[in-house]
Structure 1
């Protein structure tokens, strides 16, 4: 079951530290099977507004995304980003393939 790191980037100061972070991050992700799915590219806002950039990184499983996030290798470069970027970051797992939203709706209806 895949797991993800999602960043909602509110602002970034382009500087040498950010360039170094980008040069080094893939090396921290590779041992955990991480790959960029979306990295601040073009997006189509179809409802509401969205001024921020998105970054989405996929990992093969929940243990891998958490292992990467907590790894000494990533922690060693993290300051290069956090010193120059304001972002909200979440780690999350995917739902099981057999997930049925109707079951969730039925459970919520019973609570009302």
Structure 2
């Protein structure tokens, strides 16, 4: 079965508030099967424009990724991200 991914492209607008999101979202998502593949770190954009920070979170399936994103506990914490960053969040199915 193909894995599922949550991909986030983020530009932090409130660096004092954003760390609280990271601190709180990590255990929630890990309890829902998340494996953080990319979380911040150095990046280059050889073509086009994008946000400053990139996150790739792997789940056992697309359905698991979708369920994690829409989980009420995660959505409550996601409000911190929405208030402290501009972001695009994408749910993607991988391939076998």
TM-score bin (small chain): 0.7 to 0.9
Query: Which ranges of structure 1 fall in alignment gaps of 5 or more residues?
Result: 98-112
Evaluate the alpha carbon distance shift between residue 42 and residue 73 of structure 1 in structure 2; reply closer, same or farther with a 3 A threshold: same
Evaluate the alpha carbon distance shift between residue 12 and residue 55 of structure 1 in structure 2; reply closer, same or farther with a 3 A threshold: farther
Per the TM alignment, residue 11 of structure 1 is displaced from its structure 2 partner at its CA by 4.0
Misfit runs of 4+, over 4 Å: none
Measure the CA separation in 2 of the matches of 1:10 and 1:68. Answer: 22
Per the TM alignment, residue 78 of structure 1 is displaced from its structure 2 partner at its CA by 1.0
Measure the CA separation in 2 of the matches of 1:76 and 1:10. Answer: 20
Matched with 1:48 is 47
The aligned length equals 94
Q: Which has the higher contact order (CA 8 A, sep 6+)?
A: 2
Structure 1 length as normaliser, TM-score?
A: 0.73
More helix by share: 1
Structure 2 length as normaliser, TM-score?
A: 0.84
Larger Rg: 1
Given that 2:9 and 2:50 are in contact with CA atoms closer than 8 Å, whether structure 1 keeps it comes out as no
Per the TM alignment, residue 10 of structure 1 is displaced from its structure 2 partner at its CA by 3.5
Q: Tell me whether 1:64 sits opposite 2:64 in the alignment.
A: yes
